[in-house]
Amino acid sequence: MTQKISIALGSAEDAAKDFIEAWHCAERGETHRGAIEKLYFEDLETLLRVLNQRRWQLLKTLRLAGPTDTPTLSQMLHRNDQEIQTDINELEQSGLILRTAANQIAAPWDVVEAQMKLVPCV
């Protein structure tokens, strides 16, 4: 089964509305439409700061490698541990990577889907 995470531009209010909708669907025993996981970024600048080219490469490498630790990931990417740890912290805070029960880092997503509206919906 493909694991998908959806990224969208939106406010904390948008995220709260989506959460409440999913909660109500669960209470009714229904499946919530769309991605199971969804992250909201305030604006495009924030999204691009968090998910820059280096971090995108880290995310892809981590997905291919499976759960691992910082030193191993640093070796795979030919970068120093401190730089990798900074990127891991940012991606973990945003919800794009997770920790396993063994405290390894993991990127469980097969698909990262981005949705950015040019104009607000009316």
The CATH number that applies at residue 12 is 1.10.10.10
Angle, alpha carbons 38-41-47 (nearest 5°): 110
Tokens for 30, please give them. Answer: 């229904």
Note whether residue 122 is domain-resident.
Answer: no
CA distance 64 to 23: 32
Q: What are the tens digits of pLDDT across the range 76-119?
A: 999 999 999 999 999 999 999 999 999 999 999 999 998 887 77
CA distance 57 to 51: 9
Span 23-47, mean pLDDT? 74
State the residue range of the domain holding 62.
4-115
CA distance 67 to 46: 26
Tell me: pLDDT of 31 over 90: no
Note whether residue 49 is domain-resident.
Answer: yes
Span 66-79, mean pLDDT? 97
What pLDDT score was predicted for residue 19? 63
**HSE value, Cβ hemisphere, 13 Å, CA-based, for 101:** 0
Number of structural domains the chain divides into: 1
pTM: 0.77
